[in-house]
Amino acid sequence: MGRSRLKINAEAIKENVRKIYEFTGKKIIAVVKSNAYGVGIEFVVPLLEPLEEIDAFAVACVEEGIELRKIGVRKEILILGGVLKGEVKALKEFHLTPVVSDPEHLKVLEDENIPFHINVDTGMGRLGFLEDIPKDPRVKGLMTHLSSPADREFSMRQLRKFEGFLKKFIGNSRMSIHVESSAGLIYKVPFATHVRVGLAIYGEKPLKEYPVDIKPALSFEAQVISVKRLPKGHPVSYGRTFVAQRDIRTAVIAVGYADGLMKTLSNRGYLLFKNKKLPILGAVTMDMTVVQVDGVNIKVGDWVEIVNPKRTFVDLARDAGTIPYEVMCNLSPRVERVII
Ligand SMILES: *Cc1c(COP(=O)(O)O)cnc(C)c1O
């Protein structure tokens, strides 16, 4: 019954997993951090869990791992953000696998029989060991993260570095090796056993030229609350940053920055109604956005689209001056999630 809703195309999501598997030939660690990129773990994860292409899930922190167990995940759950003091009990109780990136994480795991993966920093400059990678019988996997997948030269340098670590580290032991995120899939890393993918599963392309044939899976819609004629000279919204230069028709849409419509779209973005662009007038506000609807047959209660399969979160984010990741994970709980 929400006034704004996110439609999740279940078939498209499952198909995307298949396409990623076909393209890479590797099992997938599905990245579902931050509530599955805002899409909603309780909707996405039950779709993914039964798929044989999916070997494990990855989240940012222990709390997110617990949430996954509580909704019935039985596959492995990786905690990308390591393990901090006070989290060991939960790791054991919920069978979560931390990715160790710091000597302090090792200290926390001392004397604990908990398997873990290790992150190597080959150029990300965020998490990961630069050298002195711990050798430990509990290590079940080794990963690195590409900082700039669009930059072939730098990425190849990271891959060569990682391969060097692998040769020294694993010898002939069996371990899962994972490097590629959605954009990184283009490298088809030959020595990796898994890919670690988020965005592409949700049907959003991380690169303009993307060789994996994924399909958009999300639509973001909101209802019209009011339609009226504004006379020439009348301002619109806070700060009066738009003033009607002639008589215009406007519609107030039940979506604002509290739902996840970025305020940077004020006076420059547009929404869609039956393939027609409705320009955003004035400031996007917390709960409402005003659009121009001259010549459009639209009435109170109609659904307007912010995102649809032809105008994806990638497109919306570009208009808003940000990235789809940020827009998606800011979709608020007020936006109703609907599986179709
Ligand atoms: C978020 C994240 C991913 C997934 O990235 P996508 O671009 O969404 O596929 C992979 N690895 C790490 C370490 C991450 O933090």
Q: Give CATH superfamily name and number for 10-202.
A: Alanine racemase (3.20.20.10)
188-235: pLDDT as tens digits: 999 999 999 999 999 999 999 999 999 999 999 999 999 999 999 999
Residues with CB under 6 Å of ligand 1 are 31, 33, 80, 145, 181-183, 196-199, 206
The whole-number pLDDT of residue 84 equals 97
Q: What is the mean pLDDT of residues 178-186?
A: 98
Ligand 1 closest atom vs CA 143: 13
The whole-number pLDDT of residue 71 equals 97
- Report which protein residue has its CA nearest ligand 1's atom 10: 181
* Percent of the chain topping pLDDT 70: 99
The whole-number pLDDT of residue 132 equals 80
**Phi, psi angles (nearest 5°) of residue 106:** -65, -40
Pocket test for ligand 1, best of 59, 80, 124, 155 (most atoms within 8 A of CB): 80
Fold of 218-339: Lyase, Ornithine Decarboxylase; Chain A, domain 1 (2.40.37)
Q: What is the mean pLDDT of residues 43-62?
A: 98
Q: Label each residue of the chain as H, E or C.
A: CCCEEEEECHHHHHHHHHHHHHHHCCEEEEECHHHHHCCCHHHHHHHHCCCCCEEEEEECCHHHHHHHHHCCCCCEEEECCCCCCCCHHHHHHHCCEEEECCHHHHHHHCCCCCCEEEEECCCCCCCCECCCCCCCCCEEEEEECCCCCCCHHHHHHHHHHHHHHHHHHHCCCCCEEECCCCHHHHHCCCCCCEEEECHHHHCCCCCCCCCCCCCCCEEEEEEEEEEEEECCCCEECHHHCEECCCCEEEEEECCCCCCCCCHHHCCCCEEEECCEEEEEECCCCCCCEEEECCCCCCCCCCEEEEEECCECHHHHHHHHCCCHHHHHHCCCCCCEEEEC
**Distance (Å) from CA 144 to ligand 1 centroid:** 11
Ligand 1 closest atom vs CA 80: 13
Pocket test for ligand 1, best of 28, 31, 34, 195 (most atoms within 8 A of CB): 31
Residue 172 pLDDT exceeds 60: no
**Distance (Å) from CA 226 to ligand 1 centroid:** 40
> What is the domain partition of the chain in residue ranges?
10-202, 218-339
Residue 171 pLDDT exceeds 80: no
Residue 274 pLDDT exceeds 70: yes
State how far the Cα of 2 lies from the Cα of 4, in Å rounded to an integer.
Answer: 5
